[in-house]
């Protein structure tokens, strides 16, 4: 898993030179910042998102970068297959970042549609894409997967029941895969963001969040991070810089979860 030569090459070519990296949720926020950071460091990025408009804008605004857009709902086998085809038989790293928030409902107010939608996108999609990519990584004997969980995957009071349970599932999947595939040269880690300025972040500051989470929670919410700060945490684990890290859940929240 990595050696001095790889690090020296990275210093010359960028950490992702010659590598193919899949990034989901690449149309906005943390996914977009990660896709750009990887591409600027020399990587070929398979940029997946449900929004074709966002991907078109991303590619148009970043003409010099190697961004391959794949538009579609990543929870469907059809889009998963399209992403793998676009990668062309080789995936060095995968960043599962696409995700949605719930409506802060505690369990007695959860409706089935919300629960199923949150789990389909936050958990099932991540499982399906990882399931499709792991055989390629096993064949190569190397690979790094980074799943974006949440501060709500570490404790119980930052979101509604659906989102909190879904992000705890992401943490569990990450740890299980780290144990299962670590001996075969693959690494699985998660990044758990706190509030971050993205399209999702508008939900955090909403009246609904204030009502649901209560004054104590609101008083302790830290200054939101930028998506670029989260991209820095994610690319550390995606790259050979994280070569000795497997099964870690990296809180990237300015210390919020340490409270
Ligand atoms: P965002 O809304 O800015 O970006 C999410 C992207 O995912 C969007 O471009 C959206 O189109 C895409 N997406 C949604 N459903 C999809 C699907 N079915 N198929 C393909 N693409 C889909 O949000 P963000 O804040 O950048 O969120 C990224 C991740 O970070 C999520 O998993 C979220 O749960 C997590 N997170 C965010 C925060 C925060 O405060 N922003 C905090 C903790 C965790």
Q: What is the pLDDT at residue 1? A: 45
Please give the average per-residue pLDDT across 79-86, as a whole number. Answer: 98
Is there an atom of ligand 1 within 6 Å of 29 CB? yes
Average pLDDT over every residue of 77-90: 97
Residue 89 has pLDDT above 60, yes or no: yes
Question: What does the pLDDT average to over 90-106?
Answer: 96
Instruction: Using the atom order of ligand 1, give the atom closest to the CA of residue 73.
Output: 19
Q: Whose CA is nearest to atom 44 of ligand 1?
A: 150
Which position has the higher pLDDT, 229 or 199? Answer: 229
- Whether this model's pTM surpasses 0.90: yes
Q: State in Å: Cα 204 to ligand 1 middle.
A: 13
- Substitution site in 26, 31, 151 for ligand 1 pocket (most atoms within 8 Å of beta carbon): 31
Q: Are 164 and 201 in contact (CB under 8 A)?
A: no
Q: What is the pLDDT of residues 154-191, one digit of tens each?
A: 998 779 999 999 999 999 999 999 999 999 999 999 99
Residue with tokens 């974006």: 148
How confident is the model over 228-239, as a mean pLDDT? 98
Tell me: the pLDDT tens digits for 27-41? 999 999 999 999 999
Which domains are present in the chain?
16-252 (3.40.50.720)
């Amino acid at each position: 898993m990595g050696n001095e030569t790889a690090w020296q090459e990275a210093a010359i070519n960028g950490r992702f030179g010659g590598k193919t990296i899949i990034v989901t949720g690449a149309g906005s926020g943390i996914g977009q910042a990660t896709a750009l950071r990887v591409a600027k460091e020399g990587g070929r990025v398979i940029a997946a998102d449900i929004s074709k408009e966002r991907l078109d804008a991303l590619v148009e605004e970043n003409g010099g970068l190697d961004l391959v857009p794949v538009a579609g709902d990543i929870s469907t086998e059809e889009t998963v297959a399209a992403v793998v085809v676009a990668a062309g038989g080789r995936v060095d790293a995968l960043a599962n970042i696409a995700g949605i928030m719930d409506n802060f409902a505690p369990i007695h107010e959860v409706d089935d549609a919300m629960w199923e939608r949150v789990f389909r996108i936050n958990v099932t999609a991540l499982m399906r894409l990882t399931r499709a990519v792991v055989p390629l990584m096993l064949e190569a004997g190397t690979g790094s997967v980074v799943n974006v969980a949440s501060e709500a995957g570490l404790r119980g009071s930052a979101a509604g029941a659906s989102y909190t349970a879904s992000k705890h599932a992401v943490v569990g999947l990450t740890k299980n895969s780290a144990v299962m595939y670590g001996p075969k040269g693959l690494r699985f880690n998660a990044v758990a963001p706190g509030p971050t300025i993205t399209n999702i972040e508008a939900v955090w500051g909403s009246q609904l969040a204030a009502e649901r989470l209560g004054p104590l929670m609101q008083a302790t919410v830290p200054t939101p991070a930028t998506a670029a700060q989260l991209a820095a945490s994610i690319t550390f684990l995606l790259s050979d810089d994280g070569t000795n890290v497997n099964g870690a859940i990296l809180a990237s929240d300015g210390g919020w979860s340490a409270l």
